[in-house]
Structure 1
Amino acid sequence: MAVDLPIPAPSGFDCWNRSLQGAFKKGVLAFLDGKPVSDCPYRDKRKDDGRLSWSRSYITAWHSGYQHCQRQQEAASE
Protein backbone atom coordinates (compact mmCIF):
# COMPACT_ATOMS: atom_id res chain seq x y z
CA MET A 1 0.00 0.00 0.00
CA ALA A 2 1.44 3.34 -1.05
CA VAL A 3 1.73 6.43 1.13
CA ASP A 4 -1.02 9.00 0.45
CA LEU A 5 0.21 12.36 -0.80
CA PRO A 6 -1.63 15.71 -0.81
CA ILE A 7 -0.40 16.28 -4.40
CA PRO A 8 -0.15 14.01 -7.47
CA ALA A 9 2.59 11.41 -7.00
CA PRO A 10 5.50 11.16 -9.41
CA SER A 11 5.60 8.39 -11.97
CA GLY A 12 6.50 5.03 -10.42
CA PHE A 13 5.99 6.24 -6.84
CA ASP A 14 3.87 3.21 -5.99
CA CYS A 15 6.88 0.96 -6.68
CA TRP A 16 9.14 2.74 -4.16
CA ASN A 17 10.06 1.29 -0.80
CA ARG A 18 7.46 2.40 1.76
CA SER A 19 10.04 4.09 4.00
CA LEU A 20 11.39 6.12 1.07
CA GLN A 21 7.81 7.05 0.20
CA GLY A 22 7.51 8.34 3.77
CA ALA A 23 10.66 10.45 3.43
CA PHE A 24 9.32 11.86 0.15
CA LYS A 25 6.01 12.72 1.82
CA LYS A 26 7.86 14.48 4.66
CA GLY A 27 9.58 16.65 2.05
CA VAL A 28 6.24 17.47 0.41
CA LEU A 29 4.70 18.39 3.76
CA ALA A 30 7.72 20.52 4.70
CA PHE A 31 7.29 22.54 1.50
CA LEU A 32 3.56 22.93 2.09
CA ASP A 33 4.28 24.07 5.68
CA GLY A 34 6.59 26.77 4.31
CA LYS A 35 9.76 25.32 5.82
CA PRO A 36 13.12 25.97 4.15
CA VAL A 37 14.85 23.17 2.25
CA SER A 38 17.59 23.26 4.91
CA ASP A 39 15.09 21.74 7.39
CA CYS A 40 15.65 18.25 6.02
CA PRO A 41 15.60 16.01 9.12
CA TYR A 42 17.94 13.41 7.65
CA ARG A 43 21.71 13.58 8.13
CA ASP A 44 24.52 11.88 6.24
CA LYS A 45 25.50 8.95 8.43
CA ARG A 46 28.37 6.56 7.92
CA LYS A 47 29.16 3.22 9.45
CA ASP A 48 32.02 2.89 11.93
CA ASP A 49 34.36 1.76 9.16
CA GLY A 50 33.49 4.80 7.00
CA ARG A 51 31.19 3.04 4.56
CA LEU A 52 27.98 4.77 3.54
CA SER A 53 24.63 3.91 5.06
CA TRP A 54 21.17 4.32 3.55
CA SER A 55 20.92 7.87 4.93
CA ARG A 56 21.66 9.48 1.57
CA SER A 57 18.68 7.69 0.06
CA TYR A 58 16.39 9.26 2.65
CA ILE A 59 17.98 12.68 2.16
CA THR A 60 17.45 12.38 -1.61
CA ALA A 61 13.85 11.20 -1.20
CA TRP A 62 13.07 14.11 1.15
CA HIS A 63 14.62 16.66 -1.22
CA SER A 64 12.81 15.06 -4.16
CA GLY A 65 9.49 15.43 -2.36
CA TYR A 66 10.22 19.04 -1.52
CA GLN A 67 11.21 19.87 -5.10
CA HIS A 68 8.34 17.87 -6.62
CA CYS A 69 5.82 19.82 -4.56
CA GLN A 70 7.55 23.10 -5.46
CA ARG A 71 7.29 22.26 -9.17
CA GLN A 72 3.63 21.25 -8.77
CA GLN A 73 2.80 24.59 -7.16
CA GLU A 74 4.71 26.54 -9.81
CA ALA A 75 2.89 24.69 -12.59
CA ALA A 76 -0.48 25.32 -10.93
CA SER A 77 0.20 29.06 -10.63
CA GLU A 78 1.05 29.46 -14.33
Structure 2
Amino acid sequence: MSTTGKTLHWAVDKWLAPTPAMPARVVRFCRTQMHRRCVCVEAVHPSGLLSIFFFRHDDGSWNVFPPAETRPAMSAWRTA
Protein backbone atom coordinates (compact mmCIF):
# COMPACT_ATOMS: atom_id res chain seq x y z
CA MET A 1 0.00 0.00 0.00
CA SER A 2 1.23 3.47 -0.77
CA THR A 3 2.56 5.36 2.21
CA THR A 4 1.80 8.68 0.52
CA GLY A 5 -1.79 7.80 -0.34
CA LYS A 6 -1.19 8.21 -4.08
CA THR A 7 -2.74 4.98 -5.29
CA LEU A 8 -3.32 4.27 -8.97
CA HIS A 9 -7.04 4.84 -8.42
CA TRP A 10 -6.31 8.25 -6.87
CA ALA A 11 -4.02 9.24 -9.77
CA VAL A 12 -6.56 8.16 -12.42
CA ASP A 13 -9.32 10.09 -10.64
CA LYS A 14 -7.12 13.18 -10.43
CA TRP A 15 -5.87 13.22 -14.03
CA LEU A 16 -8.70 11.63 -16.03
CA ALA A 17 -11.79 12.27 -13.87
CA PRO A 18 -13.68 9.21 -15.13
CA THR A 19 -17.47 8.99 -14.83
CA PRO A 20 -19.90 6.11 -15.39
CA ALA A 21 -20.72 7.65 -18.78
CA MET A 22 -17.02 8.09 -19.66
CA PRO A 23 -15.04 5.39 -17.80
CA ALA A 24 -11.27 5.01 -17.80
CA ARG A 25 -9.64 1.70 -18.71
CA VAL A 26 -6.18 0.21 -18.51
CA VAL A 27 -4.93 -0.42 -22.02
CA ARG A 28 -1.31 -1.35 -21.35
CA PHE A 29 0.73 -2.68 -18.46
CA CYS A 30 4.51 -2.83 -18.69
CA ARG A 31 7.72 -3.14 -16.75
CA THR A 32 10.92 -1.31 -17.54
CA GLN A 33 14.38 -2.86 -17.61
CA MET A 34 14.81 -1.90 -13.95
CA HIS A 35 11.59 -3.80 -13.06
CA ARG A 36 9.64 -0.60 -12.56
CA ARG A 37 5.93 -0.70 -13.32
CA CYS A 38 4.00 1.57 -15.61
CA VAL A 39 0.38 1.53 -16.73
CA CYS A 40 -1.30 3.31 -19.64
CA VAL A 41 -4.86 4.38 -18.87
CA GLU A 42 -7.19 6.00 -21.36
CA ALA A 43 -10.55 7.71 -21.19
CA VAL A 44 -12.82 9.23 -23.81
CA HIS A 45 -13.65 12.88 -23.18
CA PRO A 46 -15.73 15.32 -25.22
CA SER A 47 -12.48 16.71 -26.65
CA GLY A 48 -11.29 13.23 -27.70
CA LEU A 49 -9.33 10.24 -26.42
CA LEU A 50 -6.93 10.96 -23.56
CA SER A 51 -4.16 8.50 -22.67
CA ILE A 52 -1.78 8.89 -19.75
CA PHE A 53 1.08 6.70 -18.52
CA PHE A 54 1.35 6.29 -14.74
CA PHE A 55 4.60 5.15 -13.13
CA ARG A 56 4.98 3.37 -9.80
CA HIS A 57 7.64 4.78 -7.49
CA ASP A 58 9.68 3.00 -4.82
CA ASP A 59 7.45 4.36 -2.04
CA GLY A 60 4.42 2.71 -3.68
CA SER A 61 2.91 5.91 -5.07
CA TRP A 62 1.77 6.35 -8.70
CA ASN A 63 2.72 9.48 -10.64
CA VAL A 64 2.67 10.75 -14.22
CA PHE A 65 6.46 11.12 -14.20
CA PRO A 66 8.92 8.20 -14.02
CA PRO A 67 10.95 7.66 -10.86
CA ALA A 68 14.51 8.95 -10.78
CA GLU A 69 17.09 6.38 -11.75
CA THR A 70 19.43 5.22 -9.02
CA ARG A 71 22.85 6.54 -9.85
CA PRO A 72 26.17 5.00 -8.89
CA ALA A 73 27.73 6.64 -5.88
CA MET A 74 31.10 6.52 -4.23
CA SER A 75 31.91 7.27 -0.65
CA ALA A 76 35.05 7.29 1.38
CA TRP A 77 35.35 6.55 5.05
CA ARG A 78 37.95 8.35 7.04
CA THR A 79 39.66 6.24 9.67
CA ALA A 80 41.41 7.86 12.58
TM-score by length of 2: 0.25
User: Hey, which of these two has a bigger chunk of strand by percent?
Assistant: 2
Larger RCO (CA under 8 A, 6+ residues apart):
1
